[in-house]
Amino acid sequence: MGVTLRRIVFALLLTLALPVAAQSTQPKKLVPIPESPELPLPPPLSDSEQDASLEPQVTIIKRGEDTVEEYRSNGRLYMIKITPRIGLPYYLIDNRGDGTFATHSDMEQGIRPPMWVIHRF
């Protein structure tokens, strides 16, 4: 019984001493890593690359105590945000592009996938 206990204590001391011995040894002739150079900033966009038609045009209208925001892209009305004086704002969105608006609010849990127009004929 005494031999088994000694073996366990020896194995325990050995497992505790090995990580300490491994940490204390360092390779000789270490060379520091040079710092990476800073990347240059991209060139500013030219006037032809800054297309204002890519940004939506937002028209804000006050109707009584409500605020109506109309979002247009390429002259086409695609979303209306209505913010009542009391309550949460809600959205009317033209999903198909046919002028029929559907109601969407922040309280809905549904998933709205992005619907981009790639090309229009």
CA distance 85 to 12: 72
Within 8 A by CB and 6+ apart from 71, the residues are: 56, 57, 58, 77, 78, 79, 80, 81
In tens, the pLDDT along 88-121 reads 888 888 877 788 888 765 555 666 666 666 776 6
pLDDT digits (tens, 9 = 90+) for 18-41: 777 666 566 778 888 889 888 898
Both tokens of residue 19?
């990580």
Give me the residue label for tokens 């390779």. 27
Q: How much is the pTM? A: 0.48
Q: Is 75 left (phi over 0), alpha (psi -120 to 50) or beta?
A: left
What are the structural domains, with CATH classification, of the chain?
Answer: 54-105 (2.20.130.30)
